[in-house]
Chain A
Amino acid sequence: MSALIKVKGLTRIFDVSKPWLNRVIERLPKALLTAVSDVSFEVEENSVYALVGESGSGKSTIGKIVVGLVPPSQGSVMINDVDLATETDAAKVEAVRADIQMIFQDPYASLNPRWRVREIIAEPVAAKGGNTTGLAERLLEQVGLSAADAVKYPHEFSGGQRQRICIARALASEPKVIVCDEPTSALDVSVQAQVLNLMSDLREEFGLTYLFISHDLTVVQHMADRIGVLYLGRLVEEAPRDILFEDPKHPYTRMLFDAAPRMDGFGREVDPPKGEIPDAINPPKGCAFHPRCPIAVERCSRERPEMRDVRGARVACHLAE
């Protein structure tokens, strides 16, 4: 299988400095926040690639860069061998843009409350001057709503139904890739199950590729074929799902697995992880995880570990073997 999305050396730095005058008066340096740092991975066609991490790990930023909502500072994202940020051929850019769609976390904020559902769903096609007759009705039925819902407004739907409308909108332009940024974290479990099942069905029906961004390990374990674990903007471990869950190699991945509450963990006494995610403006030197790492050695605070292959996974840790 060929890789549909190729992310290479992706870096994104945000300038979060105070305004110029404050900096001069208070003699402050520029503050640069490295949200994503040197991230590389490939997503195969018709597979689900999941990015997991805690808040501030850069997972949403990567999603936004992939769809082109945020330009990268360095590195490239190739979709079908076209780099949206640098490609000059307008026709190619147009074609790739239609191939990639996004589903956002909050279905209450991502639908225009003044538009009817028909207009919302047909917009990705209408914007390109395509034929939208009956499109919204067909898609609504595909995502488990009724064609009669097309004339309603978003406020008439529940959270789960709204997320279905978002999915229908994402499908309108017949994309190959859908970037899903926490698509179910605003939903209740029983509704989450319905939406995840729908996403699995659609993937099979249309041969979709998902870049699935989530902090929920159980959801990721259910959905993903391949998983990348992010910590402070860096990929610390990447592996096929079963290898990652059976044999996590990076201490951060292990910590994440241990800390996640388990449904069979009755009265489990967790030794909770120490410390918190450090400030991304002044990340620790060397391996960013070393201040919290239970097995850190002196080398970890000096030298940043490179990604290397260890037993079927790619791990960025000096001590993984």
Chain B
Amino acid sequence: MSNPVLSVRDLVVEIPTRNGILRPVDNVSYDIAAGEILGVVGESGAGKSMTGNAVIGLLDPPARIASGEVLLDGKPIQGLKGEALRRLRGKKMGMIFQDPLTSLNPLLTVGEQLEETILEHLPISAAEARKRAVEALEEVGIPAAAQRIGSYPHEFSGGMRQRVVIALALCAEPDLVIADEPTTALDVSVQAQIVALLKRLCRERGVAVMLVTHDMGVIAEAADRVAVMYAGRLAELGPVRDVLTNARHPYTAGLMGSTPLASQGQRRLRQIPGAMPRLGALPQGCAFHPRCDRAEDRCRAEPGPTISACDGRAACWFPLGYPQEATG
């Protein structure tokens, strides 16, 4: 792989509270190359959105990056503030949020919002910015873009609004886009349109995309590689086909097994016992061990290994299917 666009190294996010320090993101490392879509999956509270927010500098205090590095095009960006951060956001990285209605300003037309972003980051005239804005809307598939550019966000449907948000994230031609649950609020047919759009833009523009979602189906269809998160840590990281069909971490296997599709034809779904622990009450050792049927003494005593420390795939002392892998 050539130099990655985004490189996250041993990232730790902490939230100090009255009852001690919580770690919603704990020792997470991954890279995203240009033109690649990295899917980040996990259940609610796994730290997937928090990771995205940490990268783009949107952590709400008191949450803060406690240690680790975030490298964008090789340059560290963690802890940047004020003007320096503002110049990066929009220009170098764009963000797509879950709810398209709350991420657009209801008092400005979509044209004004697009032009504002373009003029802020690109050295071009207002007339040119207008042209760019229309092109950006056309590119994301909004029909009659030249007329719709004067419309307000409420005049668009949910799917169209999400297209505007995508246009907004891409209009200053960033190298990295963080999409946080971009299709969760949308219907299936519109979701398919948005996923296809993201894939096309990623391919054509060579943008690196971090796609945060809880929908395994969307990950399977859109992502090149996938990172599975559990209780703030990376559980598994690898090419999407390998991870989804041949999971190494017992949590990934459980997650895949509990989707209704995987259990087709069986009367009962496979289920993982229990629920994800709260951040304030993480168990000793590997955070997954109380729910894991392969847990042994080592899992109860030591925290799980980091991914790079073992086979580069699963953060587990006893990964599934490992011996078979070695023999053939």
By a beta-carbon cutoff of 8 Å, the part of chain A in contact with chain B is 54-55, 158-161, 188-194, 196-197, 200, 215-219, 221-223, 255-256, 258-273, 276-277
A200 to B268, CA, bound (A): 8
Whether a CB of chain A sits under 8 angstroms from the CB of B271 is yes
The verdict on B279 contacting chain A, using a C-beta distance below 8 Å, is: no
A160-B275, A194-B271, A262-B221 in contact; A189/B192 too (CB < 8 A)? no
Complex CA distance for A150 and B245, rounded to whole angstroms: 42
Nearest CB of chain A from residue B242's CB, rounded to whole Å: 10
| Interface status of B109 (Cβ within 8 A of chain A) | no
B135 sits at the interface (CB 8 A) = no
Q: Pick the contact of A54 from B188, B245, B262, B276 — CB < 8 Å?
A: B188
B27-35, B251-259, B297-305 - the one binding chain A: B251-259
A159 — which chain B residues lie within 8 A by C-beta? 44
B141 to chain A, nearest CB (A): 9
With contact pairs A158-B275, A200-B267, A266-B241 given, residues A272 and B221 touching in the complex (Cβ less than 8 Å): no
Residue among B157, B189, B221 having the largest count of chain A Cβ atoms under 10 Å: B189
Chain B's closest residue to A258 (CB) is B192
Among B258, B264, B268, B270, point to the contact of A221 (Cβ < 8 A): B264
Known contacts A263-B262, A265-B217, A267-B221: A273-B43 contact under CB 8 Å: no
Instruction: Please give, as numbers and ranges, the residues of chain B lying within 8 Å of A200 by CB-CB distance.
Output: 267-268
B267 near A273 with CB under 8 A, answer no
Q: Contacts A190-B43, A200-B267 hold; do A218 and B259 have CB atoms under 8 A apart?
A: yes
Do residues A196 and B260 form an inter-chain contact, with CB atoms below 8 A?
yes
Q: A193, B193: Cβ atoms under 8 Å? A: no
**Residue from the set A54, A189, A266 with the largest chain B CB neighbour count within 10 Å:** A189
Given the complex, which residues of B lie within 8 Å of A258, measured CB to CB? 192
Q: Does B47 contact A (CB under 8 A)?
A: no
A259 engages B192 (CB within 8 Å)? yes
Complex Cα distance A261/B222, Å?
9
Q: Which of A54, A217, A256, A272 contacts B193 (CB 8 A)?
A: A272
> A-B pairs with the 7 shortest C-beta distances?
A261-B217, A193-B258, A188-B43, A222-B260, A259-B192, A54-B187, A193-B269
Q: Which residue of A lies closest to B263 (CB)?
A: A222
CB pair B190–A263 under 8 Å, yes or no, is no
The answer to the question of B215 belonging to the interface, with a C-beta cut-off of 8 Å to chain A, is yes
Q: Does B195 sit at the interface, judged by CB under 8 A?
A: yes
- Chain A nearest CB: distance from B184 CB in Å? 10
The answer to whether B189 and A272 touch across the interface, beta carbons within 8 angstroms, is: yes
Q: Which residues of chain A have C-beta atoms less than 8 A from B267's C-beta?
A: 200
Residue B196 lies at the interface, judged by CB distance under 8 Å to chain A: yes
- Contacting residue for A191 out of B220, B245, B260, B275, CB 8 A: B275
Compute how far the CA of A259 lies from the CA of B259 in the bound complex, rounded to whole angstroms: 18
B214 CB–A CB distance under 8 Å? yes
CA distance A267 to B226 in the complex (A): 13
